[in-house]
Amino acid sequence: MPRDACAPKGMAWLLLLLIVLSFTTASGPLRANDRALEYRVKAEFLYNFARFVEWPEGSQDKDREAVVIGILGEDPFGPILETIIRGKNVGGKRVRVKRMEHLAEETGGCHLLFISRSQTRHLAEILRRVQGRSVLTVGDSEGSARRGTVISFLIEDETVQFEVNLQAAERAGIKISSRLLRSARIVAELP
CA distances from 139 to 94, 122, 162, 163, 177 (A): 23, 11, 10, 10, 19
For the chain, residues with pLDDT lower than 50 are: 1-8, 13-29, 32, 62
What's the DSSP call for residue 32? G
pLDDT of residue 100: 93
CB of 80 closer than 8 Å to CB of 125: no
pLDDT of residue 125: 94
* Angle between helical axes of 35-51 and 7-26 (0-180°, round to 10): 160
Mind giving me the DSSP string for 79-93? THHHHHHTT-EETTE
Beta strands in the chain (DSSP E): 53-54, 66-72, 89-90, 93-100, 112-115, 136-139, 151-156, 159-165, 175-176, 185-187
